[in-house]
Amino acid sequence: MPSHNPIICAIDTTDVAEAKALAASLKPHIGMVKLGLEFFTANGAAGVREVTAGGTPLFLDLKFHDIPNTVAGAVRAAIALKPQLMTIHASGGKAMMQAAADAARGSGAKILGVTVLTSMDDSDLASIGVQATAPDQVRRLADLALRSGLDGIVCSPQEITLLRAHCGKDFTLVTPGIRPAGSDKGDQKRTLTPKEALAHGADHLVIGRPITQAADPVTAAKAIKASL
Ligand code: C5P
């Protein structure tokens, strides 16, 4: 297990009280909470502040994608929430990623690129004019993210080994699609266990429902931590 706690609990809800209670009870057992578009659209920055008020480290997963000036402004606004990690779409291009990296410099927030959404396959890419296969497009965008000054990327369990080899040891790799041995996969099709994902070279593991939907989320988080 790395020196930090690699578990990031994805809290996907619109309910501030539920998110706050989960974050508070899980804090000793996880490294960060992830709040994303669902929570943020419902509750905004004030809702985020309520959830992290107890000092829970934050991954703010808002996947910005706009012109460079607008993304830089959004990154500056997000930094006020003191996230450790935040996301932008790498397909927004080099100038957009550089503007985001510049806006975050010195803040302590790491900017991660999202490459190809795992909901898209080769035919979805072709339908938007991308002729590359999904793995080739992931590699291309990861490379562009690295060269544009981003701190890392979000990648699927299948991509960790290749991207670690390609992007070097200092590039932060954050991986969802993690399922503890024996747990329900839900809609995630290709999964690794937490221990396997770390062995492949992931830095942080995004784990949602196996913790949040467990009968006892604290027990579930503790068991995952003990398995690493
Ligand atoms: O509940 P589960 O562990 O599947 O939650 C995973 C989290 O990671 C969710 O917030 C989901 O939106 C996010 N995610 C994902 N797969 C990706 C990118 C993000 O599951 N490729």
Give the pairing of strands 58-64 and 204-207: unpaired
For residue 63, indicate whether it is catalytic.
Answer: yes
Pocket test for ligand 1, best of 26, 206, 211 (most atoms within 8 A of CB): 206
Q: Is residue 89 part of a domain?
A: yes
State the catalytic residue, choosing from 34, 63, 94, 189.
Answer: 63
pLDDT at 195: 96
- Total-model pTM: 0.95
What's the CATH code of the domain at 112? 3.20.20.70
Average pLDDT over residues 122-151: 96
Q: Is 115 in the pocket of ligand 1 (CB under 6 A)?
A: no
Q: Is residue 1 part of a domain?
A: no
Structural domain including 170 reads 7-227
Q: Residue written as tokens 């606004």?
A: 77
Q: Is residue 145 part of a domain?
A: yes
pLDDT at 3: 83
Could you tell me if 202 and 175 are in contact, meaning their C-beta atoms sit under 8 angstroms apart?
yes
Half-sphere exposure of 221 (CA within 13 A, CB side): 28
pLDDT interval class at 190 (50, 70, 90)? confident
Which helix (H) or strand (E) segment is 42 a member of? helix 37-52
pLDDT at 1: 63
C-alpha 36 to ligand 1 mean position (Å): 10
Q: Is residue 192 part of a domain?
A: yes
What whole-number percentage of the chain has pLDDT above 70?
Answer: 100
How confident is the model over 33-76, as pLDDT tens digits? 999 999 999 999 999 999 999 899 999 999 999 999 999 999 99
Average pLDDT over residues 181-189: 80
Could you tell me if 98 and 148 are in contact, meaning their C-beta atoms sit under 8 angstroms apart?
yes
Q: Is residue 101 part of a domain?
A: yes
pLDDT interval class at 183 (50, 70, 90)? confident
Dig out the tokens for 182 from the structure: 């024996």
Residues in the chain: 228
Angle between helix 94-104 and 68-79 (nearest 10):
30
Q: Is residue 216 part of a domain?
A: yes
Total domains in the chain come to: 1
pLDDT at 42: 98
Q: Is residue 96 part of a domain?
A: yes
- Residue 16, pLDDT > 70, answer yes
Dig out the tokens for 17 from the structure: 């009280």
Which helix (H) or strand (E) segment is 70 a member of? helix 68-79
